[in-house]
Amino acid sequence: MLHNFGSINLDHFYRVPHLVRPGETLAGHDYRVGLGGKGANQSLAMARAGGKVRHWGRLGRHDAWAKELLEQAGVDTDSIALVDEPGGHAIIQVDDHGENAILLFPGANHGFSEAELSELIEAADPGDWLLAQNECNALAKALELAHARGLNIAFNPAPMTEDVAALPLELCRLLFVNRGEAEELTGLPEGAAASELLDALTERLPDTETVLTLGGEGAWYQHGETRLFQPPLPVTPRDTTAAGDTFIGYYLAARQAELPVETCLARAATAAAIGVQRLGATESIPELADVEALLGQDT
Protein backbone atom coordinates (compact mmCIF):
# COMPACT_ATOMS: atom_id res chain seq x y z
CA MET A 1 0.00 0.00 0.00
CA LEU A 2 1.10 3.56 -0.69
CA HIS A 3 -0.02 6.28 1.74
CA ASN A 4 -0.12 9.77 0.27
CA PHE A 5 0.34 12.53 2.85
CA GLY A 6 -1.00 15.10 0.46
CA SER A 7 -2.91 18.30 -0.15
CA ILE A 8 -6.47 18.53 -1.37
CA ASN A 9 -7.44 21.80 -3.04
CA LEU A 10 -10.23 23.25 -5.05
CA ASP A 11 -8.75 24.63 -8.26
CA HIS A 12 -10.29 27.75 -9.79
CA PHE A 13 -9.21 27.83 -13.45
CA TYR A 14 -9.14 30.98 -15.55
CA ARG A 15 -8.27 30.77 -19.24
CA VAL A 16 -6.41 33.94 -20.26
CA PRO A 17 -4.65 35.26 -23.39
CA HIS A 18 -1.42 35.62 -21.38
CA LEU A 19 -0.42 35.36 -17.72
CA VAL A 20 -1.44 38.48 -15.80
CA ARG A 21 1.35 41.04 -15.43
CA PRO A 22 1.89 43.23 -12.33
CA GLY A 23 -0.62 46.08 -12.26
CA GLU A 24 -2.64 44.61 -15.14
CA THR A 25 -6.36 43.85 -15.20
CA LEU A 26 -7.00 41.08 -17.71
CA ALA A 27 -10.29 39.55 -18.86
CA GLY A 28 -10.40 35.76 -18.94
CA HIS A 29 -12.42 33.81 -21.50
CA ASP A 30 -13.21 30.66 -19.51
CA TYR A 31 -13.72 29.68 -15.86
CA ARG A 32 -14.35 26.44 -14.00
CA VAL A 33 -13.71 24.90 -10.61
CA GLY A 34 -12.45 21.38 -9.97
CA LEU A 35 -10.57 19.08 -7.64
CA GLY A 36 -6.84 19.74 -7.40
CA GLY A 37 -3.83 20.01 -5.14
CA LYS A 38 -0.63 18.13 -5.86
CA GLY A 39 -1.53 15.48 -3.30
CA ALA A 40 -5.00 14.81 -4.66
CA ASN A 41 -3.74 14.86 -8.24
CA GLN A 42 -1.06 12.28 -7.50
CA SER A 43 -3.46 10.02 -5.58
CA LEU A 44 -6.00 10.15 -8.39
CA ALA A 45 -3.33 9.51 -11.04
CA MET A 46 -2.04 6.51 -9.13
CA ALA A 47 -5.56 5.11 -8.73
CA ARG A 48 -6.35 5.58 -12.43
CA ALA A 49 -3.09 3.81 -13.21
CA GLY A 50 -4.28 0.78 -11.23
CA GLY A 51 -2.30 1.44 -8.04
CA LYS A 52 -3.39 0.99 -4.44
CA VAL A 53 -3.26 4.35 -2.66
CA ARG A 54 -4.66 5.65 0.62
CA HIS A 55 -4.87 9.43 0.91
CA TRP A 56 -4.08 11.22 4.18
CA GLY A 57 -5.62 14.66 3.99
CA ARG A 58 -7.76 17.42 5.50
CA LEU A 59 -10.65 19.00 3.62
CA GLY A 60 -13.18 21.70 4.41
CA ARG A 61 -16.49 20.07 5.33
CA HIS A 62 -18.43 22.02 2.71
CA ASP A 63 -16.10 20.60 0.03
CA ALA A 64 -16.94 16.96 0.79
CA TRP A 65 -17.74 16.37 -2.88
CA ALA A 66 -14.00 16.43 -3.54
CA LYS A 67 -13.53 13.44 -1.24
CA GLU A 68 -16.29 11.63 -3.12
CA LEU A 69 -14.49 12.24 -6.44
CA LEU A 70 -11.32 10.65 -5.09
CA GLU A 71 -13.26 7.68 -3.76
CA GLN A 72 -15.02 7.19 -7.10
CA ALA A 73 -11.60 7.08 -8.79
CA GLY A 74 -10.49 4.23 -6.54
CA VAL A 75 -8.56 6.14 -3.86
CA ASP A 76 -8.93 4.91 -0.26
CA THR A 77 -10.36 8.01 1.45
CA ASP A 78 -10.88 6.66 4.98
CA SER A 79 -8.02 8.84 6.27
CA ILE A 80 -9.34 12.12 4.83
CA ALA A 81 -10.73 14.28 7.65
CA LEU A 82 -13.57 16.72 7.00
CA VAL A 83 -12.94 19.84 9.09
CA ASP A 84 -14.71 23.13 9.81
CA GLU A 85 -11.83 25.38 8.73
CA PRO A 86 -11.48 26.65 5.14
CA GLY A 87 -10.07 24.11 2.71
CA GLY A 88 -7.09 24.70 0.49
CA HIS A 89 -7.65 26.27 -2.90
CA ALA A 90 -5.71 27.59 -5.87
CA ILE A 91 -6.26 30.33 -8.43
CA ILE A 92 -4.84 29.01 -11.71
CA GLN A 93 -4.24 31.02 -14.86
CA VAL A 94 -3.72 29.04 -18.06
CA ASP A 95 -2.67 31.01 -21.13
CA ASP A 96 -3.19 30.30 -24.81
CA HIS A 97 0.21 28.58 -25.02
CA GLY A 98 -0.62 26.12 -22.22
CA GLU A 99 1.60 27.77 -19.60
CA ASN A 100 0.20 28.34 -16.12
CA ALA A 101 0.63 30.53 -13.03
CA ILE A 102 -0.80 29.46 -9.67
CA LEU A 103 -1.74 31.32 -6.46
CA LEU A 104 -2.14 28.84 -3.61
CA PHE A 105 -3.95 29.17 -0.26
CA PRO A 106 -3.10 26.13 1.91
CA GLY A 107 -6.06 26.27 4.31
CA ALA A 108 -6.82 22.95 6.00
CA ASN A 109 -3.77 21.33 4.38
CA HIS A 110 -1.65 23.14 6.98
CA GLY A 111 -3.67 21.92 9.98
CA PHE A 112 -2.06 18.54 10.70
CA SER A 113 -1.06 17.98 14.33
CA GLU A 114 1.84 15.77 15.38
CA ALA A 115 -0.64 13.49 17.15
CA GLU A 116 -2.64 13.02 13.94
CA LEU A 117 0.49 12.21 11.97
CA SER A 118 1.70 9.74 14.59
CA GLU A 119 -1.64 7.94 14.50
CA LEU A 120 -1.65 7.71 10.71
CA ILE A 121 1.93 6.48 10.48
CA GLU A 122 1.53 3.92 13.25
CA ALA A 123 -1.42 2.44 11.33
CA ALA A 124 0.79 1.87 8.27
CA ASP A 125 2.70 -1.37 7.86
CA PRO A 126 6.51 -1.37 7.76
CA GLY A 127 7.56 -1.72 4.14
CA ASP A 128 4.63 0.38 2.87
CA TRP A 129 5.37 3.54 0.90
CA LEU A 130 4.78 7.11 2.05
CA LEU A 131 4.43 9.74 -0.68
CA ALA A 132 4.67 13.43 0.22
CA GLN A 133 4.75 16.79 -1.52
CA ASN A 134 5.40 20.26 -0.10
CA GLU A 135 1.80 21.44 0.36
CA CYS A 136 1.12 20.11 3.89
CA ASN A 137 2.58 21.22 7.22
CA ALA A 138 4.77 19.20 9.63
CA LEU A 139 6.60 17.63 6.71
CA ALA A 140 9.91 17.07 8.50
CA LYS A 141 8.13 15.32 11.36
CA ALA A 142 6.20 13.14 8.90
CA LEU A 143 9.41 12.05 7.16
CA GLU A 144 11.12 11.27 10.46
CA LEU A 145 8.18 9.28 11.85
CA ALA A 146 7.75 7.40 8.56
CA HIS A 147 11.42 6.45 8.46
CA ALA A 148 11.32 5.27 12.07
CA ARG A 149 8.27 3.14 11.21
CA GLY A 150 10.16 1.48 8.35
CA LEU A 151 8.24 3.08 5.50
CA ASN A 152 9.77 3.71 2.08
CA ILE A 153 9.57 7.44 1.39
CA ALA A 154 8.92 9.03 -2.00
CA PHE A 155 9.10 12.82 -2.01
CA ASN A 156 8.21 15.49 -4.55
CA PRO A 157 9.45 18.90 -3.26
CA ALA A 158 6.77 20.90 -5.02
CA PRO A 159 6.10 23.70 -4.72
CA MET A 160 9.77 24.36 -4.05
CA THR A 161 10.53 26.59 -1.05
CA GLU A 162 13.60 27.45 1.01
CA ASP A 163 12.35 25.11 3.76
CA VAL A 164 12.96 22.05 1.59
CA ALA A 165 16.74 22.36 1.97
CA ALA A 166 16.39 21.81 5.72
CA LEU A 167 14.32 18.63 5.38
CA PRO A 168 15.94 15.22 6.08
CA LEU A 169 16.03 14.33 2.39
CA GLU A 170 18.54 11.54 3.04
CA LEU A 171 15.61 9.56 4.48
CA CYS A 172 13.95 9.44 1.06
CA ARG A 173 14.22 6.31 -1.04
CA LEU A 174 12.85 8.04 -4.14
CA LEU A 175 12.94 11.71 -5.13
CA PHE A 176 10.92 13.29 -7.96
CA VAL A 177 12.20 16.68 -9.15
CA ASN A 178 11.80 18.90 -12.18
CA ARG A 179 14.57 21.11 -13.54
CA GLY A 180 13.85 24.08 -11.30
CA GLU A 181 13.63 21.95 -8.17
CA ALA A 182 16.87 20.17 -9.04
CA GLU A 183 18.63 23.50 -9.56
CA GLU A 184 17.41 24.75 -6.18
CA LEU A 185 18.52 21.58 -4.38
CA THR A 186 21.95 21.50 -5.98
CA GLY A 187 22.70 25.21 -6.23
CA LEU A 188 23.49 24.88 -9.93
CA PRO A 189 22.64 27.78 -12.24
CA GLU A 190 19.53 27.97 -14.37
CA GLY A 191 19.94 25.97 -17.57
CA ALA A 192 22.44 23.47 -16.15
CA ALA A 193 22.69 20.27 -18.18
CA ALA A 194 20.75 17.24 -17.02
CA SER A 195 23.99 15.33 -16.48
CA GLU A 196 25.27 18.07 -14.16
CA LEU A 197 22.04 18.06 -12.17
CA LEU A 198 22.08 14.28 -11.83
CA ASP A 199 25.73 14.26 -10.78
CA ALA A 200 25.08 16.90 -8.12
CA LEU A 201 21.97 15.13 -6.81
CA THR A 202 23.91 11.87 -6.52
CA GLU A 203 26.67 13.63 -4.62
CA ARG A 204 24.16 15.12 -2.19
CA LEU A 205 21.89 12.05 -1.85
CA PRO A 206 23.98 9.01 -2.86
CA ASP A 207 21.50 6.41 -1.59
CA THR A 208 18.36 7.98 -3.07
CA GLU A 209 16.80 7.05 -6.39
CA THR A 210 16.10 10.18 -8.44
CA VAL A 211 13.62 10.81 -11.23
CA LEU A 212 14.33 14.10 -13.02
CA THR A 213 11.50 15.32 -15.26
CA LEU A 214 12.31 17.85 -17.98
CA GLY A 215 8.98 18.34 -19.76
CA GLY A 216 9.58 18.49 -23.48
CA GLU A 217 13.17 17.25 -22.97
CA GLY A 218 12.16 13.89 -21.51
CA ALA A 219 12.98 12.38 -18.12
CA TRP A 220 15.88 10.65 -16.36
CA TYR A 221 16.15 7.96 -13.69
CA GLN A 222 19.28 7.64 -11.61
CA HIS A 223 20.39 5.36 -8.79
CA GLY A 224 24.05 4.77 -8.06
CA GLU A 225 25.76 4.15 -11.39
CA THR A 226 22.49 3.38 -13.19
CA ARG A 227 21.20 6.20 -15.37
CA LEU A 228 18.25 5.75 -17.75
CA PHE A 229 16.67 8.21 -20.19
CA GLN A 230 13.03 8.44 -21.27
CA PRO A 231 12.70 10.40 -24.54
CA PRO A 232 9.96 13.03 -24.78
CA LEU A 233 6.77 12.32 -26.69
CA PRO A 234 6.02 14.78 -29.52
CA VAL A 235 2.85 16.56 -28.40
CA THR A 236 1.53 20.12 -28.44
CA PRO A 237 0.51 21.02 -24.87
CA ARG A 238 -2.76 22.78 -24.11
CA ASP A 239 -2.48 22.79 -20.30
CA THR A 240 0.50 21.58 -18.24
CA THR A 241 -1.17 22.04 -14.83
CA ALA A 242 -1.10 18.42 -13.60
CA ALA A 243 1.56 16.97 -15.89
CA GLY A 244 4.11 16.36 -13.14
CA ASP A 245 1.50 14.88 -10.81
CA THR A 246 0.26 12.56 -13.54
CA PHE A 247 3.82 11.40 -14.18
CA ILE A 248 4.42 10.68 -10.50
CA GLY A 249 1.16 8.80 -9.95
CA TYR A 250 1.68 6.60 -12.98
CA TYR A 251 5.33 5.97 -12.16
CA LEU A 252 4.50 4.86 -8.62
CA ALA A 253 1.65 2.61 -9.75
CA ALA A 254 4.01 0.87 -12.17
CA ARG A 255 6.64 0.67 -9.44
CA GLN A 256 4.06 -0.86 -7.09
CA ALA A 257 3.35 -3.48 -9.76
CA GLU A 258 7.09 -4.29 -9.72
CA LEU A 259 7.57 -3.34 -13.36
CA PRO A 260 11.06 -2.47 -14.65
CA VAL A 261 12.18 1.13 -14.30
CA GLU A 262 12.13 1.56 -18.08
CA THR A 263 8.45 0.57 -18.11
CA CYS A 264 7.68 2.87 -15.18
CA LEU A 265 9.23 5.79 -17.07
CA ALA A 266 7.44 4.97 -20.32
CA ARG A 267 4.02 4.68 -18.67
CA ALA A 268 4.54 7.88 -16.70
CA ALA A 269 5.75 9.88 -19.71
CA THR A 270 2.91 8.61 -21.90
CA ALA A 271 0.28 9.45 -19.27
CA ALA A 272 1.71 12.95 -18.86
CA ALA A 273 1.80 13.46 -22.65
CA ILE A 274 -1.88 12.56 -22.88
CA GLY A 275 -2.71 14.82 -19.95
CA VAL A 276 -1.07 17.99 -21.31
CA GLN A 277 -3.31 17.80 -24.36
CA ARG A 278 -6.38 18.18 -22.12
CA LEU A 279 -7.61 21.06 -19.98
CA GLY A 280 -7.76 20.96 -16.20
CA ALA A 281 -5.99 19.15 -13.37
CA THR A 282 -7.70 15.93 -12.31
CA GLU A 283 -9.86 16.12 -15.45
CA SER A 284 -6.73 15.78 -17.58
CA ILE A 285 -5.36 12.63 -15.93
CA PRO A 286 -5.91 9.68 -18.30
CA GLU A 287 -7.23 6.21 -17.57
CA LEU A 288 -4.80 3.30 -17.76
CA ALA A 289 -6.52 1.93 -20.87
CA ASP A 290 -5.74 5.15 -22.76
CA VAL A 291 -2.08 4.95 -21.76
CA GLU A 292 -1.76 1.28 -22.66
CA ALA A 293 -3.43 1.90 -26.01
CA LEU A 294 -0.95 4.65 -26.90
CA LEU A 295 1.99 2.56 -25.73
CA GLY A 296 0.72 -0.33 -27.83
CA GLN A 297 0.85 1.83 -30.94
CA ASP A 298 4.61 2.23 -30.44
CA THR A 299 5.37 -1.47 -30.21
Q: What is the mean pLDDT of residues 235-251?
A: 91
* pLDDT > 80? residue 297: no
Confidence tier at 235 by pLDDT (50, 70, 90):
confident
What's the confidence (pLDDT) of residue 242? Answer: 87
Cα 137 from chain centre: 16
* pLDDT > 60? residue 273: yes
Of the candidates 9, 51, 22, 63, the one whose C-alpha atom is nearest the C-alpha of residue 241 is: 9
pLDDT tens track for 29-71: 999 888 989 999 999 999 999 999 999 999 999 899 999 999 9
How far is it, in rounded angstroms, from Cα 35 to Cα 44? Answer: 10
Strand 100-105 with 129-132, pairing: unpaired
Strand partners, 38: none
pLDDT tens track for 177-221: 999 999 999 999 999 999 999 999 999 999 999 999 999 899 999
Confidence tier at 90 by pLDDT (50, 70, 90):
confident
Of the candidates 91, 93, 156, 107, the one whose C-alpha atom is nearest the C-alpha of residue 129 is: 156
Q: What is the mean pLDDT of residues 269-286?
A: 90
What's the confidence (pLDDT) of residue 14? Answer: 93
Of the candidates 226, 201, 221, the one whose C-alpha atom is nearest the C-alpha of residue 266 is: 221
What's the confidence (pLDDT) of residue 72? Answer: 96
How far is it, in rounded angstroms, from Cα 246 to Cα 215? Answer: 12
What's the confidence (pLDDT) of residue 236? Answer: 84
Q: Are 267 and 294 in contact (CB under 8 A)?
A: no
pLDDT tens track for 92-130: 898 988 888 888 899 999 999 999 999 999 999 999 999
How far is it, in rounded angstroms, from Cα 254 to Cα 256? Answer: 5
What's the confidence (pLDDT) of residue 118? Answer: 96
Active site amino acids: 245
Q: What is the pTM of this model?
A: 0.91
Query: DSSP string covering the chain, please?
Result: -EEEE---EEEEEEE-SSPPPTT-----SEEEEEEE-HHHHHHHHHHHTT--EEEEEEEEGGGHHHHHHHHHHT-B-TTEEEESSPPEEEEEEE-TTS-EEEEEE-GGGG---HHHHHHHHHTSPTT-EEEE-SSSS-HHHHHHHHHHHT-EEEE---S--GGGGGS-GGG-SEEEEEHHHHHHHHTPPTT--HHHHHHHHHHH-TTSEEEEE-GGG-EEEEETTEEEEEPPP----S--TTHHHHHHHHHHHHHHTT--HHHHHHHHHHHHHHHTTSSSSGGGPPPHHHHHHHHHHT-
